[in-house]
């Protein structure tokens, strides 16, 4: 099932499966800002990553001495959400723990995904609610893919601050201790496919909390992510999109013990408490 929200400037469409944003379109120009999801390159648009981000070592973890299997980015993106509330410009979707989720992740939770339009801005909020009687370990993140309709090399990313990015290298889908430093030039990173020969750019920490996408040096979209300490940038070689991925947590490192509560970047939430994270997409 599809739900849509709109205002005078924008229309957003969300699939209840995975609460996935699959369209953000200008009502005047009809330009589409979200990747179409062609399986030729990547058959998704903007999946939600929960209760893990990235890949676990051997695709499993330990909790209370028991081993659980969970594949890359968790299960939320594959499950059906329910509409909790809806208006013309706003919709909140909900996923609660169930028999399937507890076979992979033995905790009670509710995950709320909220989409809200405001002028030329879409605010996306994730609220993790611990409905269990024990501490909830989790990671969460976004994975929006933005459509690029020109040659990939004609685009660049402009960061909030001129800085040097410390990009950790993925090996067999895990984060190695190897890294490279990429210095921005006038706050900008020019896009080229060579950046993604070794998969995503994994940045554990950076000072910038907003990134603008520029086409031929002209900014057309701004992405703000102040609530997220970790970040990924990714595309498929030859694909006409760029993913800007705000994360709380990331893939396992090679040194990880496998115990979920010892995982690098893992968050914890006390019983009957909640935590909210938001990012926004502004059309310029």
The rounded distance, in Å, linking the Cα atoms of 122 and 215 is 20
The rounded distance, in Å, linking the Cα atoms of 188 and 156 is 6
CATH number for the domain that contains residue 159: 2.70.98.10
The rounded distance, in Å, linking the Cα atoms of 48 and 92 is 14
DSSP lists the bridge partners of residue 128 as 111, 275
Give the three-class secondary structure for 83.
Answer: strand
User: Can you tell me the mean pLDDT for 8-32?
Assistant: 98
DSSP codes of every residue in 191-251: --GGGGTTSPEEES--S--EEEEEETTEEEEEEE-TT-SEEEEE--TT-SEEEEEEEES-P
User: Can you tell me the mean pLDDT for 28-52?
Assistant: 97
User: Can you tell me the mean pLDDT for 47-62?
Assistant: 97
| Tens-digit pLDDT profile for residues 55-94 | 999 999 999 999 999 999 999 999 999 999 999 999 999 9
pTM over 0.85: yes
What is the reported pLDDT for 52?
A: 98
Give the three-class secondary structure for 8.
Answer: coil
What is the reported pLDDT for 202?
A: 97
DSSP lists the bridge partners of residue 93 as 83, 113
Q: Tell the burial category of 258 from Cβ atoms under 10 Å away from its Cβ (0-12, 13-18, 19+).
A: middle
What is the reported pLDDT for 45?
A: 98
User: Can you tell me the mean pLDDT for 170-195?
Assistant: 96
Q: Domain limits at 99? A: 2-283
User: Percentage of the chain surpassing pLDDT 90?
Assistant: 100
The number of distinct structural domains making up the chain is: 1
Q: What is the CA radius of gyration of the chain?
A: 18
| Tens-digit pLDDT profile for residues 142-171 | 999 999 999 999 999 999 999 999 999 999
The rounded distance, in Å, linking the Cα atoms of 191 and 153 is 5
What is the reported pLDDT for 248?
A: 98
| Tens-digit pLDDT profile for residues 111-128 | 999 999 999 999 999 999
| Tens-digit pLDDT profile for residues 131-142 | 999 999 999 999
| Tens-digit pLDDT profile for residues 188-213 | 999 999 999 999 999 999 999 999 99
């Amino acid at each position: 099932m599809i739900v849509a929200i709109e205002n005078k400037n924008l229309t957003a469409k969300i699939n209840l499966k995975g609460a996935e944003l699959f369209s953000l379109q200008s009502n005047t120009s009809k330009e589409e800002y979200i990747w179409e999801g062609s399986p030729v390159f990547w058959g998704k648009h903007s999946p939600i990553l929960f209760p893990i981000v990235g890949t676990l070592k051997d695709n499993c973890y330990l909790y209370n001495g028991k081993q659980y299997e969970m594949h890359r980015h968790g299960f939320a993106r594959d499950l059906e959400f329910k509409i909790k509330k809806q208006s013309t410009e706003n919709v909140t979707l909900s996923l609660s723990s169930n028999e399937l989720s507890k076979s992979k992740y033995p905790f009670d939770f509710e995950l709320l995904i909220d989409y809200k339009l405001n002028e030329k801005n879409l605010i996306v909020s994730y609220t993790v609610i611990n409905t269990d009687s024990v501490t909830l370990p989790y990671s969460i993140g976004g994975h929006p893919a933005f459509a690029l309709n020109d040659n990939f090399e004609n685009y660049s990313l402009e960061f909030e601050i001129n800085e040097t990015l410390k990009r950790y290298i993925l090996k067999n889908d895990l984060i190695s201790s190897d890294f490279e430093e990429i210095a921005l030039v006038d706050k900008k990173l020019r896009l080229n496919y060579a950046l993604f020969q070794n998969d995503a750019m994994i940045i554990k920490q950076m000072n910038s909390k907003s990134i603008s996408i520029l086409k031929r040096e002209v900014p057309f979209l701004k992405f703000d992510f102040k609530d997220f300490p970790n970040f990924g940038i990714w595309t498929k070689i030859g694909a006409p999109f760029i993913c800007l991925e705000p994360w709380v947590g990331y893939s396992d490192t090679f040194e990880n013990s496998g115990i979920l509560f010892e995982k690098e970047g893992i968050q914890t939430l006390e019983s009957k408490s909640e935590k909210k994270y938001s990012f926004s997409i502004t059309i310029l």
